Amino acid sequence: MGKLRTFWRGLLAGGAAGAGVAALAAVNRSVARDAPEPETGAVGGEAGTYQWKHGQIFYRHAGEEDAPAVLFVHGIGAGARSFMWRRNFLPLARDFRVYALDLLGFGYSDKPANAPYSAELYVELLTDFLREVVGRPAGVVAHTLSAAFAVRAADERPELVRSLVLVSPTGADHLSARPGMTGAAFYGLLHSPVLGTSFYNAVTSERGVRDYARKQLFYERRFATPRLVAHYYAVSHLPGAQYAATAFLSGYLNTDAREPLARLRQPVTLAWGKQDTTNPIDQAGQLLSLNPRARLEVFDRCRMMPQEEHAERFNALLRDAFRG
Protein backbone atom coordinates (compact mmCIF):
# COMPACT_ATOMS: atom_id res chain seq x y z
CA MET A 1 0.00 0.00 0.00
CA GLY A 2 2.90 2.38 0.71
CA LYS A 3 4.15 2.23 -2.88
CA LEU A 4 0.69 2.92 -4.21
CA ARG A 5 0.26 5.88 -1.87
CA THR A 6 3.62 7.30 -3.01
CA PHE A 7 2.54 6.83 -6.62
CA TRP A 8 -0.66 8.78 -6.03
CA ARG A 9 1.25 11.62 -4.38
CA GLY A 10 3.58 11.78 -7.35
CA LEU A 11 0.64 11.93 -9.70
CA LEU A 12 -0.78 14.79 -7.64
CA ALA A 13 2.38 16.86 -7.93
CA GLY A 14 2.58 16.40 -11.69
CA GLY A 15 -1.16 16.58 -12.36
CA ALA A 16 -1.78 19.79 -10.44
CA ALA A 17 1.09 21.52 -12.19
CA GLY A 18 0.40 20.27 -15.71
CA ALA A 19 -3.38 20.19 -16.12
CA GLY A 20 -6.21 22.50 -15.31
CA VAL A 21 -9.01 21.49 -12.97
CA ALA A 22 -11.56 21.90 -15.74
CA ALA A 23 -9.66 19.50 -18.00
CA LEU A 24 -9.36 16.94 -15.22
CA ALA A 25 -13.07 17.23 -14.48
CA ALA A 26 -13.86 16.61 -18.14
CA VAL A 27 -11.72 13.49 -18.14
CA ASN A 28 -13.43 12.27 -14.98
CA ARG A 29 -16.84 12.72 -16.59
CA SER A 30 -15.68 10.78 -19.62
CA VAL A 31 -14.39 7.89 -17.51
CA ALA A 32 -17.65 7.71 -15.56
CA ARG A 33 -19.73 7.87 -18.73
CA ASP A 34 -17.76 5.20 -20.59
CA ALA A 35 -17.26 2.72 -17.74
CA PRO A 36 -18.90 -0.63 -18.66
CA GLU A 37 -21.46 -2.43 -16.55
CA PRO A 38 -19.91 -5.21 -14.40
CA GLU A 39 -20.60 -8.84 -15.10
CA THR A 40 -23.34 -10.29 -12.89
CA GLY A 41 -24.01 -13.80 -11.68
CA ALA A 42 -20.45 -15.13 -12.01
CA VAL A 43 -20.37 -16.35 -8.40
CA GLY A 44 -23.59 -18.33 -8.74
CA GLY A 45 -26.36 -19.03 -6.26
CA GLU A 46 -29.20 -16.68 -5.45
CA ALA A 47 -28.91 -12.94 -4.84
CA GLY A 48 -30.05 -11.38 -1.59
CA THR A 49 -29.92 -8.02 0.19
CA TYR A 50 -29.40 -7.21 3.86
CA GLN A 51 -30.61 -3.81 5.00
CA TRP A 52 -27.86 -2.76 7.38
CA LYS A 53 -27.83 0.48 9.36
CA HIS A 54 -25.22 2.09 7.08
CA GLY A 55 -26.69 0.88 3.79
CA GLN A 56 -27.92 -2.08 1.80
CA ILE A 57 -25.56 -5.06 1.62
CA PHE A 58 -25.60 -7.32 -1.44
CA TYR A 59 -24.84 -11.01 -1.01
CA ARG A 60 -25.26 -14.37 -2.68
CA HIS A 61 -26.24 -17.66 -1.05
CA ALA A 62 -26.47 -21.30 -2.08
CA GLY A 63 -26.64 -24.81 -0.62
CA GLU A 64 -29.04 -26.65 1.67
CA GLU A 65 -30.42 -24.41 4.40
CA ASP A 66 -29.68 -26.91 7.18
CA ALA A 67 -26.08 -27.59 6.05
CA PRO A 68 -23.13 -26.15 8.02
CA ALA A 69 -22.68 -22.48 7.17
CA VAL A 70 -19.67 -20.84 5.49
CA LEU A 71 -19.20 -17.10 4.87
CA PHE A 72 -16.82 -15.82 2.16
CA VAL A 73 -15.38 -12.33 2.74
CA HIS A 74 -13.52 -10.67 -0.14
CA GLY A 75 -10.33 -8.67 0.31
CA ILE A 76 -9.96 -4.90 0.32
CA GLY A 77 -8.97 -2.95 -2.77
CA ALA A 78 -10.34 -1.15 -5.79
CA GLY A 79 -12.75 -3.40 -7.68
CA ALA A 80 -12.86 -6.02 -4.91
CA ARG A 81 -16.07 -7.98 -4.39
CA SER A 82 -17.30 -11.56 -4.03
CA PHE A 83 -16.40 -12.23 -7.69
CA MET A 84 -13.06 -13.45 -6.34
CA TRP A 85 -14.78 -16.57 -4.92
CA ARG A 86 -16.41 -17.66 -8.19
CA ARG A 87 -14.30 -20.86 -8.37
CA ASN A 88 -15.08 -21.81 -4.78
CA PHE A 89 -18.63 -20.73 -3.97
CA LEU A 90 -20.72 -23.34 -5.80
CA PRO A 91 -18.26 -26.23 -5.24
CA LEU A 92 -18.55 -25.61 -1.47
CA ALA A 93 -22.33 -25.33 -1.76
CA ARG A 94 -22.46 -29.10 -2.36
CA ASP A 95 -21.60 -29.64 1.30
CA PHE A 96 -22.35 -26.32 3.02
CA ARG A 97 -24.79 -23.44 3.16
CA VAL A 98 -22.58 -20.74 1.65
CA TYR A 99 -22.80 -16.96 1.72
CA ALA A 100 -20.62 -14.34 -0.03
CA LEU A 101 -21.22 -10.67 0.70
CA ASP A 102 -19.99 -7.46 -0.88
CA LEU A 103 -18.76 -5.28 1.97
CA LEU A 104 -20.18 -1.78 2.36
CA GLY A 105 -18.48 0.48 -0.16
CA PHE A 106 -17.62 -2.40 -2.51
CA GLY A 107 -19.23 -4.31 -5.35
CA TYR A 108 -23.00 -4.09 -5.53
CA SER A 109 -23.47 -2.98 -1.92
CA ASP A 110 -24.25 0.64 -1.11
CA LYS A 111 -21.35 3.11 -1.16
CA PRO A 112 -22.40 6.08 0.98
CA ALA A 113 -19.98 8.99 0.85
CA ASN A 114 -20.44 9.80 4.54
CA ALA A 115 -20.12 6.28 6.01
CA PRO A 116 -17.48 5.97 8.79
CA TYR A 117 -15.25 3.61 6.80
CA SER A 118 -12.96 1.92 9.31
CA ALA A 119 -11.94 -1.48 10.63
CA GLU A 120 -14.57 -1.11 13.36
CA LEU A 121 -17.29 -0.64 10.75
CA TYR A 122 -16.36 -3.85 8.93
CA VAL A 123 -15.99 -5.89 12.12
CA GLU A 124 -19.48 -4.76 13.10
CA LEU A 125 -20.83 -5.56 9.64
CA LEU A 126 -19.46 -9.11 9.79
CA THR A 127 -20.87 -9.79 13.25
CA ASP A 128 -24.26 -8.33 12.33
CA PHE A 129 -24.39 -10.30 9.08
CA LEU A 130 -23.45 -13.55 10.81
CA ARG A 131 -26.06 -13.00 13.50
CA GLU A 132 -28.94 -11.67 11.42
CA VAL A 133 -28.49 -13.33 8.00
CA VAL A 134 -26.50 -16.53 8.54
CA GLY A 135 -28.20 -17.08 11.88
CA ARG A 136 -25.86 -19.73 13.30
CA PRO A 137 -22.14 -20.36 13.90
CA ALA A 138 -20.25 -20.37 10.61
CA GLY A 139 -16.88 -21.05 9.13
CA VAL A 140 -15.38 -17.84 7.75
CA VAL A 141 -12.90 -17.56 4.88
CA ALA A 142 -11.46 -14.05 4.48
CA HIS A 143 -8.84 -12.50 2.21
CA THR A 144 -5.96 -10.07 2.98
CA LEU A 145 -7.06 -7.15 5.21
CA SER A 146 -10.53 -8.64 5.66
CA ALA A 147 -8.81 -11.51 7.46
CA ALA A 148 -8.00 -9.06 10.27
CA PHE A 149 -11.66 -8.00 10.42
CA ALA A 150 -12.69 -11.66 10.60
CA VAL A 151 -10.21 -12.38 13.39
CA ARG A 152 -11.57 -9.50 15.44
CA ALA A 153 -15.16 -10.62 14.82
CA ALA A 154 -14.30 -14.17 15.91
CA ASP A 155 -12.61 -12.84 19.04
CA GLU A 156 -15.39 -10.44 19.99
CA ARG A 157 -18.27 -12.80 19.13
CA PRO A 158 -16.86 -16.35 19.34
CA GLU A 159 -20.34 -17.86 19.35
CA LEU A 160 -20.76 -16.72 15.73
CA VAL A 161 -17.58 -18.21 14.25
CA ARG A 162 -16.73 -21.92 14.29
CA SER A 163 -13.44 -21.76 12.41
CA LEU A 164 -11.38 -19.47 10.16
CA VAL A 165 -9.43 -19.76 6.93
CA LEU A 166 -7.31 -16.63 6.40
CA VAL A 167 -6.03 -16.17 2.84
CA SER A 168 -2.85 -14.11 2.38
CA PRO A 169 -3.66 -12.25 5.61
CA THR A 170 -2.18 -8.80 5.98
CA GLY A 171 0.91 -9.17 8.14
CA ALA A 172 1.14 -8.29 11.80
CA ASP A 173 4.03 -5.91 11.15
CA HIS A 174 1.87 -2.98 10.06
CA LEU A 175 -1.66 -3.83 11.13
CA SER A 176 -1.49 -1.37 14.01
CA ALA A 177 -0.34 1.61 11.92
CA ARG A 178 -2.83 4.47 12.08
CA PRO A 179 -3.12 7.21 9.47
CA GLY A 180 -2.01 10.17 11.61
CA MET A 181 -1.96 13.73 10.29
CA THR A 182 -0.36 12.74 6.98
CA GLY A 183 -2.95 10.07 6.36
CA ALA A 184 -5.75 12.46 7.27
CA ALA A 185 -4.44 15.06 4.84
CA PHE A 186 -4.07 12.42 2.13
CA TYR A 187 -7.63 11.23 2.82
CA GLY A 188 -8.96 14.75 2.46
CA LEU A 189 -7.04 15.25 -0.76
CA LEU A 190 -8.36 12.05 -2.30
CA HIS A 191 -11.88 13.11 -1.38
CA SER A 192 -11.61 16.26 -3.47
CA PRO A 193 -14.21 15.90 -6.24
CA VAL A 194 -11.80 16.62 -9.09
CA LEU A 195 -8.23 15.85 -8.04
CA GLY A 196 -9.14 12.87 -5.87
CA THR A 197 -11.30 11.34 -8.58
CA SER A 198 -8.59 11.98 -11.18
CA PHE A 199 -5.95 10.05 -9.28
CA TYR A 200 -8.36 7.27 -8.40
CA ASN A 201 -9.13 6.95 -12.11
CA ALA A 202 -5.41 6.91 -12.95
CA VAL A 203 -4.69 4.04 -10.58
CA THR A 204 -7.79 2.07 -11.60
CA SER A 205 -7.29 2.39 -15.34
CA GLU A 206 -7.56 -0.82 -17.35
CA ARG A 207 -3.78 -0.89 -17.68
CA GLY A 208 -3.34 -0.33 -13.94
CA VAL A 209 -5.75 -3.15 -13.12
CA ARG A 210 -4.10 -5.50 -15.61
CA ASP A 211 -0.57 -4.76 -14.38
CA TYR A 212 -1.61 -5.19 -10.75
CA ALA A 213 -3.26 -8.53 -11.50
CA ARG A 214 -0.24 -9.81 -13.42
CA LYS A 215 2.40 -8.64 -10.95
CA GLN A 216 0.70 -8.83 -7.56
CA LEU A 217 -2.36 -11.06 -7.64
CA PHE A 218 -1.19 -14.01 -9.72
CA TYR A 219 1.98 -16.01 -10.22
CA GLU A 220 0.73 -17.30 -13.58
CA ARG A 221 -0.09 -14.35 -15.83
CA ARG A 222 -2.69 -16.42 -17.67
CA PHE A 223 -5.05 -15.99 -14.70
CA ALA A 224 -5.17 -12.24 -15.37
CA THR A 225 -7.71 -12.82 -18.12
CA PRO A 226 -9.42 -10.05 -20.09
CA ARG A 227 -12.64 -11.07 -18.35
CA LEU A 228 -11.10 -10.60 -14.91
CA VAL A 229 -9.51 -7.26 -15.81
CA ALA A 230 -12.76 -6.00 -17.34
CA HIS A 231 -14.72 -6.99 -14.24
CA TYR A 232 -12.35 -5.35 -11.75
CA TYR A 233 -12.22 -2.22 -13.89
CA ALA A 234 -16.01 -2.01 -14.16
CA VAL A 235 -16.59 -2.60 -10.43
CA SER A 236 -13.93 -0.06 -9.45
CA HIS A 237 -15.83 2.58 -11.46
CA LEU A 238 -19.28 2.03 -10.04
CA PRO A 239 -20.64 5.26 -8.52
CA GLY A 240 -19.12 5.82 -5.09
CA ALA A 241 -16.51 3.08 -5.39
CA GLN A 242 -13.70 5.47 -4.50
CA TYR A 243 -14.92 6.21 -0.96
CA ALA A 244 -13.97 2.95 0.76
CA ALA A 245 -10.84 2.61 -1.40
CA THR A 246 -9.73 6.08 -0.30
CA ALA A 247 -10.17 5.15 3.37
CA PHE A 248 -8.08 2.03 2.75
CA LEU A 249 -5.25 3.88 1.00
CA SER A 250 -5.20 6.50 3.75
CA GLY A 251 -4.82 3.91 6.51
CA TYR A 252 -8.26 4.25 8.07
CA LEU A 253 -9.01 0.53 7.69
CA ASN A 254 -5.85 -0.57 9.52
CA THR A 255 -6.36 -2.58 12.69
CA ASP A 256 -4.18 -4.45 15.14
CA ALA A 257 -5.40 -8.06 15.12
CA ARG A 258 -2.42 -9.54 16.96
CA GLU A 259 -3.96 -9.85 20.42
CA PRO A 260 -7.33 -11.05 19.08
CA LEU A 261 -5.54 -13.71 17.00
CA ALA A 262 -3.60 -14.87 20.06
CA ARG A 263 -6.84 -15.24 22.04
CA LEU A 264 -8.73 -17.29 19.46
CA ARG A 265 -9.76 -20.79 20.45
CA GLN A 266 -11.42 -21.61 17.14
CA PRO A 267 -9.42 -23.57 14.55
CA VAL A 268 -7.41 -21.23 12.29
CA THR A 269 -5.86 -22.10 8.93
CA LEU A 270 -3.53 -19.75 7.04
CA ALA A 271 -3.57 -20.21 3.25
CA TRP A 272 -0.53 -18.57 1.68
CA GLY A 273 1.02 -18.29 -1.76
CA LYS A 274 4.71 -19.12 -1.64
CA GLN A 275 5.54 -16.34 -4.11
CA ASP A 276 3.27 -13.71 -2.55
CA THR A 277 5.14 -10.41 -2.76
CA THR A 278 2.44 -8.21 -1.23
CA ASN A 279 2.19 -10.23 2.00
CA PRO A 280 5.43 -12.27 1.96
CA ILE A 281 5.20 -15.74 3.43
CA ASP A 282 7.80 -14.97 6.10
CA GLN A 283 5.01 -13.04 7.82
CA ALA A 284 3.30 -16.37 8.44
CA GLY A 285 5.85 -17.14 11.14
CA GLN A 286 4.81 -14.04 13.07
CA LEU A 287 1.15 -15.06 12.97
CA LEU A 288 1.88 -18.68 13.90
CA SER A 289 3.93 -17.52 16.89
CA LEU A 290 0.91 -15.55 18.08
CA ASN A 291 -1.38 -18.57 17.84
CA PRO A 292 0.49 -21.90 17.88
CA ARG A 293 -2.83 -23.71 17.37
CA ALA A 294 -3.06 -22.25 13.85
CA ARG A 295 -1.80 -24.24 10.89
CA LEU A 296 -0.22 -23.08 7.65
CA GLU A 297 -0.99 -24.35 4.14
CA VAL A 298 1.47 -23.14 1.48
CA PHE A 299 0.58 -23.02 -2.23
CA ASP A 300 3.59 -23.09 -4.56
CA ARG A 301 3.57 -21.14 -7.83
CA CYS A 302 1.05 -18.80 -6.29
CA ARG A 303 0.83 -15.21 -5.07
CA MET A 304 -2.23 -13.68 -3.38
CA MET A 305 -4.98 -15.78 -4.96
CA PRO A 306 -4.67 -19.50 -4.10
CA GLN A 307 -8.46 -19.78 -4.35
CA GLU A 308 -8.10 -19.12 -8.09
CA GLU A 309 -4.63 -20.40 -9.02
CA HIS A 310 -5.17 -23.69 -7.13
CA ALA A 311 -8.94 -23.79 -6.83
CA GLU A 312 -9.40 -27.55 -6.49
CA ARG A 313 -6.81 -27.89 -3.73
CA PHE A 314 -8.09 -24.76 -2.02
CA ASN A 315 -11.66 -26.08 -2.02
CA ALA A 316 -10.46 -29.33 -0.48
CA LEU A 317 -8.71 -27.29 2.21
CA LEU A 318 -11.96 -25.45 2.97
CA ARG A 319 -13.93 -28.69 3.23
CA ASP A 320 -11.37 -30.09 5.62
CA ALA A 321 -11.25 -26.92 7.72
CA PHE A 322 -15.01 -26.46 8.00
CA ARG A 323 -16.15 -30.05 8.45
CA GLY A 324 -14.35 -30.41 11.78
pLDDT in tens, 109-144: 999 999 999 999 999 999 999 999 999 999 999 999
Instruction: Report the relative pairing of strands 138-143 and 69-73 from DSSP bridges.
Output: parallel
In contact, 158 and 130? CB cutoff 8 Å: no
**CA dihedral for 277, 250, 117, 230, sign (positive or negative):** negative
Domain locations along the chain: 2-323
Going along 173-255, which residue ranges are E strands?
A: none
Q: Is the pLDDT of residue 23 over 70?
A: no
- Top CATH class of 2-323 equals alpha beta
Q: Report percent pLDDT > 90 for the chain.
A: 69
Q: Is the pLDDT of residue 38 over 90?
A: no
Distance, in Å, from the CA atom of 109 to the CA atom of 165, rounded to the nearest integer, reads 24
pLDDT digits (tens, 9 = 90+) for 143-169: 999 999 999 999 999 999 999 999 999
Name the average pLDDT for the chain.
87
3-state secondary structure 260-288: HHHHCCCCEEEEEECCCCCCCCCHHHHHH
Q: Label residues 131-154 b or e (16+ Cβ within 10 Å = b).
A: eebbeebbbbbbbbbbbbbbbbbb
Output the pLDDT for position 177: 60
Q: Report percent pLDDT > 70 for the chain.
A: 79
pLDDT digits (tens, 9 = 90+) for 247-269: 898 888 999 999 999 999 999 99
